[in-house]
Amino acid sequence: AMSAGEVRDRIVRARAAQKEWAKSSWGQRRLLLKVIQRFILENQDTICQVSARDSGKPLVDAAFGEILVTLEKIKWLLRDGERWLKPEKRAAGLMMFYKKATVEYHPVGVMGAIVPWNYPFHNVFNPLLANLFAGNALVVKVSEYASWSSNYYGRAIAACLEAAGAPADLVQIVTGYAEAGNALVTGGCGKVVFVGSTGVGRAVMRAAAETLTPVVLELGGKDPFIVLEDADLGQCVPMALRGAFQSCGQNCAGAERFYVHEKIHDRFVDGVMQAATKLRQGWALSTGIDCGAMCMPAQAQYVQSLVDDAVAQGAVVKVGGKMNLDLSAGQFYPPTVIVDVTHDMRIMREEVFGPVLAIVKISSDEEAVRLANDCDFGLGSNVFGSKARALRVGAQLEAGMTTINDFCATYMAQSLPFGGVKHSGFDRFAGVEGLRGCCNMKSVVVDGIPFIRTDIPPPLQYPVQDCAFAFCKALCHMFFGLNLREQAMGLCMLAKAFLLPAPAASKKD
């Protein structure tokens, strides 16, 4: 674990490297991204194996969550990144029609990131790609539960920087506990992105307040998965299984609350059970494994407590629901399906972050919306049904993201921002908004028409004339009158203001 002093030293080194990198061309930044892209394509096996060892997920889940989304982000940045970071033309307004107004996007300098353990490769490379393309340096603190994999990823990053001719200190990986995290937030980064729990997010905000460091908080969620009565079960049942059990349920935007219409409830449960009873659990690198282990110590016991509470209040476990004693050597919790769940149960209130598919029977679209919004979190959401109906329901959900007839597709669409509302945090990373969030915005105004410039009118020059206020009122009517008649009146008022006699020079006694 690094000390606070070591973290601050890393920030200093990153800042020095960023001053050089800020001068790099778009071509050099694209070259760096292509080098990283080539590294990923040629080392998929190793990347996924390292991720699986450190986080417990099977190789297929690593391919989904580590590789595919990272390559998609690179492709989007190569295609559209420069477009969204170039100066953007804005309207100068009616009175300043002769001006050119633009917004410029300048790198914040050093971006700090505190990322979780659940996707150790993507959680490092996701902020890396956007910030380096925007001209920043990055200091990223990895979770203490995913420090081992950061050694390999750090060496890969160093090799990519060298191959692209980028400064060696441009990316710094920090390891440690709360002391290291606090030093990252308070040690001079231009901005900080935190991905993690709500409780730690509050601590990050308190620390950032001392130095007025802007923060982006993504604090997890408890995403609803709504199945309307006209949903295609052949499509949504496999999606539900993936949403609940991918990476053993350890996903920020994982599906945790399943609301299924009573008319298709039993068929939905039957479809889920056909697959859930056949899922295989074990060591992540074993062959033929569907679910791996829980990464966090004691997380399996926590999930068990939620299931036990639900059962005590009348819920019924259809499969799983008890820690697998045959796998007692590891941190395993079996894929679990539980029905007859209500909002009185903890499992509907607290983030599970485990392989539990908890089903609530609903009787109407209105009930689905009411229950989905009855939650402290508001990250993602998913609705299945006829397109128009699902869109109507989705529009009423209190969430940062909604996917219709798919699961978490908003994250694969890398042009979209990622983030939530309520206790899921605020601001966004990813997408256009996230990319621009790597920058400080600067508004710029300059003369846009040759030989036309701004000169202060004589009535308004110091010392102002007696007609100055009348002159201002006339301008308002002339430019902003509600019709031509009022605008013409304003023009007449302006002429009258000019004709008023100038004040006589005062005499001193």
Q: Which residues contact 34 (CB under 8 A, 6 or more apart)?
A: 74, 78
DSSP bridge partners of 259: 226, 360
Q: Which amino acid is at 199?
A: G
Cα–Cα–Cα angle for 188, 429, 436, nearest 5°?
Answer: 75
Q: What is the identity of the amino acid at 24?
A: S
- Give me the catalytic one of 66, 218, 256, 351: 218
Per-residue buried b or exposed e for 238-265, using 16+ beta carbons within 10 Å of the residue's own CB? ebbbebbbbbbbbbbbbbbbbbbbeebb
Rounded to 5 degrees, φ, ψ at 201 are -60, -40
What is the rounded distance in angstroms from the CA atom of residue 64 to the CA atom of residue 66? 6
The rounded distance, in Å, linking the Cα atoms of 357 and 320 is: 10
Helices (H), 258-353: 265-276, 299-312
Measure the CA–CA gap between 49 and 11, rounded to whole angstroms: 30
For the chain, how far is it from start to end, CA to CA, in angstroms? 79
Cβ-in-10-Å burial (0-12, 13-18, 19+) of 145 comes to middle
What token pair was written down for 167?
A: 């400064």
Which has the closest alpha carbon to 375: 477, 462, 255? 255
Give catalytic status of residue 218 as yes or no.
Answer: yes
State the CB neighbour count (10 A cutoff) for residue 91: 9
What is the CA angle 282-284-288, rounded to 5? 65
Which residues sit opposite 441 in a β-bridge?
105
Active-site residue identified among 248, 252, 291, 408: 252
Take residue 14 and report the two structure tokens written for it: 């990153």
**In this structure, how many other beta carbons lie within 10 angstroms of the beta carbon of residue 277?**
12
* Contact between residue 399 and residue 256 where contact means Cβ atoms under 8 Å apart: no
Contact 442, 106 (CB under 8 A): yes
Specify whether the CB–CB gap between 314 and 348 falls below 8 A. Answer: no
Triad 335, 247, 266: Cα angle to 5°: 40
Kindly report the length of the chain: 509
Residue type, 242: R
Task: Give the pairing type, strands 421-422 and 377-378.
Answer: antiparallel
DSSP states of 22-74 as a string?
A: TT--HHHHHHHHHHHHHHHHHTHHHHHHHHHHHH---HHHHIIIIIIHHHHHH
In angstroms, rounded to a whole number, what is the distance separating the alpha carbons of residues 241 and 245? 6
The set of catalytic residues is 218, 252
